[in-house]
Amino acid sequence: MNWQYAYDNSHAVTDSAALIERAAQRATETRQRHQASAQLDLAYGEHPRQRLDLFLPRTQSARALLVHVHGGYWMRTDKSNWSHCVEGALAQGLAVAVPSYRLCPEVSIASISADVASAIAFAAAKVRGTIVLSGHSAGGHLVARQLCQDSTVSPDIRKRIRAALSISGLHDLRPLIKTPLNTTLQLSQPTARAESPALLDPLPEAVLYAWVGANELPELRRQTQLIGSMWFGLASATSTREVSDQHHFDIIDALEDPDSAMLNTLLAHC
């Protein structure tokens, strides 16, 4: 195994830089398009990165709340790069919260998970009803982490969370110790185990969908199958899917389509 590139999604997709740039432009256009109804840069904590954007349907009360958590290996990007991911859910009448969070190495991955729990609670106080979660890459890890029995999500919020979708997620953090990423992540074997959803007990009512592109790195595909196997064996309603002809940077485009199969896995719980 060449650990230098085993988790290097940018290296694996030749036009990744252009794809990321185009995504950021679509995100900017989305915020401009919905600025009249959105509530941007709301503080859910004291740190400058503890902010979220809340997008609300224009013509009706929200039927449910989706919280979408961005990726970036817990060390880069923020909510403003991923606003376009709200389009499909908004068209289906959901409110969508997109939080930023503190980053490594300033804080640990455990602290980032706690930030996400706080962001969910903050958004849940503004939108009544059912909550569903989605997250991409490191965000996939962070939403799966909220469904673990030792998560910091409060019991009242847990009752409202009906399902989570981990898109190209990281579910066992131990292999990352061998990669260049760990210079920033600063994981040890104990901390990696403690923050790996695949190694933890899911909530009894947890419903987790783990999707990955069939053209993604072998380790990302293995990580997806791993949590499906581990949590299914613990009687959790967990399922996995490999999406043909998709890689790490285009699989998430389905969230912009209100009729996509990906989005409809969550809508079935709203």
Crossing angle of helices 138-146 and 109-126, in 10° steps, is: 70
pTM of the predicted structure, to 2 decimals: 0.97
Between CA 106 and CA 256 the distance in angstroms is 32
In a domain, 117, yes or no: yes
Between CA 42 and CA 203 the distance in angstroms is 29
pLDDT of residue 37: 94
In a domain, 103, yes or no: yes
In this structure, what is the dihedral angle of CA atoms 67, 200, 113, 140, given to the nearest 10 degrees?
Answer: -40
In a domain, 122, yes or no: yes
In a domain, 35, yes or no: yes
pLDDT of residue 64: 97
Specify the amino acid at residue 227. I
Structural contact between residues 80 and 146, judged by C-beta atoms closer than 8 angstroms: no
Query: CATH number for the domain including 134?
Result: 3.40.50.1820
In a domain, 210, yes or no: yes
In this structure, what is the dihedral angle of CA atoms 151, 153, 155, 156, given to the nearest 10 degrees?
Answer: -160
In a domain, 114, yes or no: yes
Residue closest to 153 by CA, chosen among 198, 206, 224: 206
Burial 35-65 (b: 16+ CB within 10 A, else e): eeebebebebbeeebbbbbbbbbeeeebbbb
Name the residue range of residue 176's domain: 9-267
In a domain, 2, yes or no: no
Between CA 181 and CA 82 the distance in angstroms is 22
Per-residue pLDDT of the chain (270 residues; tens, 9 = 90+): 789 899 999 888 889 889 889 989 999 999 999 999 999 999 999 999 999 999 999 877 899 999 999 999 999 999 999 999 999 999 999 999 999 999 999 999 999 999 999 999 999 999 999 999 999 999 999 999 999 999 999 999 999 999 999 999 999 999 999 999 999 999 999 999 999 999 999 999 889 999 999 999 999 999 999 999 999 989 789 999 999 999 999 999 999 999 999 999 999 999
In a domain, 3, yes or no: no
* Residue-level length of the chain: 270
pLDDT of residue 57: 93
Query: What's the domain count of the chain?
Result: 1
